[in-house]
Structure 1
Amino acid sequence: MPGEPVTREAVILGYRMLLGRDPENEDVIANALAAWPDLQSFGKALATCAEFGLRHGSNLHALPSLDAGSNLVETEADADTLALMAAKVGGYWTRAGETAPHWSVLTEERFLPHNIANNLEAFYAAGAWDAQVVEATLGRIGRSVGQFRHCVDYGCGVGRVTLQLARRFPQVTGLDISGPHLHLARETFRAAGLGHVTLTQVMPERLMPVESCDLWFSRIVLQHCPPPVTMNILRQAFRALETGGVAIFQLPVWLQGYQFDIASYLAGTPGADMEMHAIPQRAILELADWHGLVLRDLREDSFLIGRPGGALSNTFTFEKLR
């Protein structure tokens, strides 16, 4: 955030998130504290350094051309088909939770099962940035954390971000389709003594098992669901959102060469691998409008690292007015 001073903890977290490693030594940390006046300048320095370019590729933040064509995407399905698609996707994440739960959330080598013991603290520390995004986003639309009672973290996994949200909101619900992920999350919250967190498994026939909330958050989750499943999740989330509530979520809205039709999808091998999907921006805006939500903030984000110019991801912030 502009003007916010650089701290030792911020330097370590910045190195971990952007470069995938810790600073070499205390001298490097001290030099960063002396060199950069605020977090914005420090973050820009890391994001433009040679090591970052080698790690993530050149031209990272290039956007698709304004004359890019449209994706043909089928976004609606009947209840049985929705449940079938959700079950296929859920099968993948259940298997991932059984074999490499932390790596399936953040796909870095240090979070693989044989490395996670030495990097568990860094894994959970990375969730602090997501919570900062929530705080900053609320600030941009004239709201504050203290105005919200019940926060839902959709696709909570092992609780990486949920843990940080639990330090800011009086009631937090983590939702995930993977039982093994939720098992680890429960152990984490039990050890932390956080009794105001509820963890609930999403089921294929009930994709949003929360009746009411006033803040709904999801990042790097919905992109792994087939478009009709994501649209159903959003539809139920918008219904559950109380008047005055806010939804903050990230979704790819364009992928080069992407299209989706249900018949072709089901004829393939759904759920065999981690999937990546996109939903046209127009469909999301129309769904939100239908449910009485007004767009308050829209950001082009960089959550599709490694696809410069070939993908567009948006972070949406809606407020429910009726």
Structure 2
Amino acid sequence: MESAQVDVDTAFVVEARYLTELVTGQITKNMIQAYFFDLQAVRSGAGRPKGVGPRTVTKVAVLGAGMMGAGIAHSCAEAGIDVVLKDVTAEAAVQGRAYSEKLCAQAVSRGETTRARADALLARITPTADARDLAGCDAVIEAVFEDTAVKHKVFQEAQEAVGPDALLCSNTSTLPITVLAEGVERPEDFIGLHFFSPVDRMPLVEIVKGEQTGRRRWRAPSTWSGRSARRPSWSTTRAASSPRGSSAASSTRASPWSARASNRPPSSRPPPRPATRPRSSA
């Protein structure tokens, strides 16, 4: 609009000024860094713990069939992993599976998959309210309310049902992993596995190491996150003074992926606007 109110020569000066600011500004530099260099680094596994082999996961228990739990269950099933979706009631668990039914129906209608493949995906999700159905799961992903006591309770129930080598994961986004690990018998097997919402659209997953997490456990989730085309980012929990701090605020990123767009220095100001001449009415 500004260029349309002045003569053509001044308009070129105005447009050149805005283009220069756009191309050389800090926001552009941040976006190039994040979406080119950082993204390539994440895709190549930057930050991945060294010297630890991959782990095969074939069956996952998802605790909590709400929005996040249902999305995680769908993501795992889409990657070919069998899922036991557990909630307090069988009705709630079935409702969580219905989320995958909805996504599959949409994918079929858009021609993104076949009915047979959609049915196969849904067959991999078993809704239940019985903890005994968790037997044989290679990993547990908790996605219940953000309450430490509630999470401790569901993990205590789950760890008795799964095998002694099962990985214990929490999808928390606000509670320190080290604090949550205090509620399990095997804190060395406990990690944070933070999916972003909505799970079916967000490819990034944050893998958070607690103070007692073993190195081979920290490496393990990248196996199935890779199968589901997700981009893992590794972080390490620090001692947090407040349990309400976010996982991003209470962790040290091991991956170069970061949100730099908000780091514009105070001194980075737009160049002064040139004086404009009114357009001649002649």
TM-score, scaled to structure 2: 0.40
**Bigger Rg, which one:** 2
More helix by share: 1
Higher RCO (CA 8 Å, separation ≥ 6 residues): 2
TM-score of the two chains, using structure 1 as the length reference: 0.36
